[in-house]
């Protein structure tokens, strides 16, 4: 049974808080966040691996063993963090934990994270320009987390904390649709 979107975020944040605390004690925040994110990305990039981890046919220990094998080149602390999440039956929130860890590292470094969704991958020059613009607007150094979302059709949607700026083609089309369907007062 999968967690709802908001409960998955709360759960992921709890795991991230615990993992980041241990990483801080070990003075390995950047390393553990990078390695944990790499494991989560590897899982997301391989449909078969994602399907195996979502399968009810595999028990928690088997899922943990698979994830530790994926993390075989990672530090022991990262391997233990991955194992713990999986053994608790939460391999499904690995990506969200990684995202929460990146946010915690950015905050610890005096930065903020901006999650940028685009229909297609953004060119390096566009990424740099976007990061600079967001840094000027916020007064802080901005770390971009890039996500592809083909449903946007074009443009970008940016989430910084609780604020969302949706400059996507799909948002513009939805606005236009609402305006065209709104009753007129003539």
Domain at 32, CATH number: 1.10.520.20
Highest mean pLDDT among 18-22, 120-124, 154-158, 180-184: 18-22
Q: Taken in order 108, 112, 116, 122, is the CA torsion positive or negative? A: negative
Q: Are residues 95 and 114 in the same domain?
A: no
Q: What CATH number does residue 155 fall under?
A: 3.40.30
Q: Left if phi > 0, otherwise alpha if psi is -120 to 50, otherwise beta: which for 21?
A: alpha
What is the tens place of the pLDDT at every residue in 107-163? 898 888 888 988 889 899 999 998 999 889 888 888 888 888 888 888 888 888 778
Tell me the C-alpha distance between 152 and 76, whole Å: 39
174 and 117 fall within a common domain: yes
Q: Give the separation between CA 74 and CA 155, rounded to whole angstroms.
A: 36
Structural domains counted in the chain: 2
Residues 53 and 132 in one domain: no
What's the domain range around 64? 5-104
What is the model's pTM? 0.67
Query: How large is the average pLDDT for residues 98-105?
Result: 90
Residue 2 pLDDT class (50, 70, 90 cuts):
very low
Identify whether residues 81 and 21 lie together within a single domain.
yes
Question: What is the distance between the alpha carbons of residues 50 and 152, in angstroms, rounded to a whole number?
Answer: 24
- pLDDT number for residue 185: 67
Q: Does residue 69 surpass a pLDDT of 70? A: yes
80-85 mean pLDDT: 94
Size of the chain, expressed as the number of residues it contains: 186
Task: Work out the pLDDT band at 34, boundaries 50, 70, 90.
Answer: very high
Q: Note the Cα 151 to chain centre separation in Å.
A: 18
CA–CA distance, 140 with 108 (Å, rounded to integer): 12
Residues 35 and 93 in one domain: yes
> pLDDT value at position 103?
86
> Do residues 40 and 95 lie in contact, with contact meaning Cβ atoms separated by under 8 Å?
yes
Q: Of 114, 155, 152, nearest to 132 (Cα)? A: 114
Query: Do 88 and 121 fall into the same domain?
Result: no
């Amino acid at each position: 049974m999968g967690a709802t979107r908001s409960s998955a975020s709360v759960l992921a944040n709890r795991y991230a808080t615990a993992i980041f605390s241990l990483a801080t004690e070990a003075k390995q925040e950047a390393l553990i966040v990078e390695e944990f994110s790499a494991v989560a990305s590897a899982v997301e990039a391989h449909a078969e691996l994602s399907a195996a981890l979502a399968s009810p046919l595999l028990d928690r220990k088997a899922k943990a063993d698979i994830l530790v094998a994926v993390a075989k080149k990672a530090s022991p602390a990262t391997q233990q963090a991955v194992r713990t999440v999986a053994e608790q039956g939460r391999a499904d929130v690995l990506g969200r934990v990684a995202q929460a860890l990146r946010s915690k590292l950015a905050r610890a470094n005096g930065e903020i994270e901006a999650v940028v969704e685009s229909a297609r991958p953004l060119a390096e020059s566009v990424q740099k320009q976007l990061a600079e613009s967001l840094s000027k607007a916020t007064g802080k150094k901005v770390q971009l987390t890039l996500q592809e979302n083909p449903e946007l059709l074009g443009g970008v949607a940016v989430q910084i904390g609780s604020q969302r700026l949706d400059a996507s083609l799909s948002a513009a089309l939805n606005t236009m649709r609402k305006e065209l369907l709104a009753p007129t007062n003539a």
